[in-house]
Structure 1
Amino acid sequence: MLAKANRITSADDYRVIVRRGAKVAGAHTVSYVRSRESGADARFGFIVSKKVGNAVRRNLVRRRLKAVCHDALVGGVRGVDVVVRALPGAADAEFGTLRIEVLDALARRARPSASDHAPLIDSRVG
């Protein structure tokens, strides 16, 4: 489970990240990545609609996405807000496929602005 500091809980935050974040589309997910102030904890949010499947399927997909994001945090991801939208095909996707898509979105995030010189992954960790 992600710690409270690593979760996006506000509808306004979701809206800002989806509208202004860099969009990275995959076969099973669409990720929106937005830079934060350097050194800030990474935060993650998930959108899994009823098009993905019934409640059991949606929760399975959400748990898999949370596990991927937890692994990214352990790997040292910092200074970003990420919203991952699961597409209908995510219900049939394997964990490894979802992992690759989300980590690829983090790697291909928007180029940092001049005021954001912090690396995406802290090289001191791992």
Structure 2
Amino acid sequence: MRKKFRLKKDQDFQLVFKKGKSFANRQFIIYKNEKEKQAFFRIGLSVSKKIGNAVTRNRIKRYIRQTFHELNDQIAKNYDYVVIARKPAAEMSFKEVKNSLIHVLKIARVLNQNKEGSK
């Protein structure tokens, strides 16, 4: 994922937490904050050390990035997203992570329903 599509700075994360809205299921919490003049979405990832070792945390982050990459055309563009992984995400396969994220994105009403999400 290219740099312009990522949230890296703490102040960007804090802005999404303060002004954004949160949506959750058992595996993930997604915060969204609308950015009026932004032509693309940006995502920030948070995977705590409580979830597992570095290998596990990095695997979860790869799965989340890949899901957003695959759903790029279906996700609302003018938002910043922060995705927080919960403990159950540590034992999930890519397909399970993708389905769980699709579920939360539908709850957040940022996923375009025109295309089928799973392949």
TM over 0.5: yes
Aligned positions, number: 113
Give the deviation of 1:102 after TM superposition. 2.1
Percent identity at matched positions?
27
Give the deviation of 1:47 after TM superposition. 0.1
Q: What is the alpha-carbon distance in structure 2 between the residues aligned to residue 76 and residue 39 of structure 1?
A: 13
**SS class of match (2:108):** coil
* Alpha-carbon contact 2:31-2:82 (below 8 Å) kept: yes
Q: How does 1:12-27 map to 2 (within 5 A)?
A: 12-27=11-26
Give the unaligned 5+ runs of structure 1.
Answer: 111-118
Give the unaligned 5+ runs of structure 2.
Answer: 115-119
List structure 1 segments (4+ residues) > 6 angstroms apart after TM superposition: none
Give the deviation of 1:108 after TM superposition. 3.0
* Alpha-carbon contact 2:76-2:111 (below 8 Å) kept: yes
Q: How does 1:73-88 map to 2 (within 5 A)?
A: 73-75=72-74, 77-88=76-87
> Which residue in 1 is equivalent to 2:92?
93
The CA RMSD measured in Å over matched residues stands at 2.1
Length-normalised TM-score, structure 1: 0.78
1:62-89 residue CA offsets vs partner (Å, 9 max, x unmatched): 1001101111224353111110001111
Q: What is the alpha-carbon distance in structure 1 between the residues aligned to residue 111 and residue 29 of structure 2?
A: 19
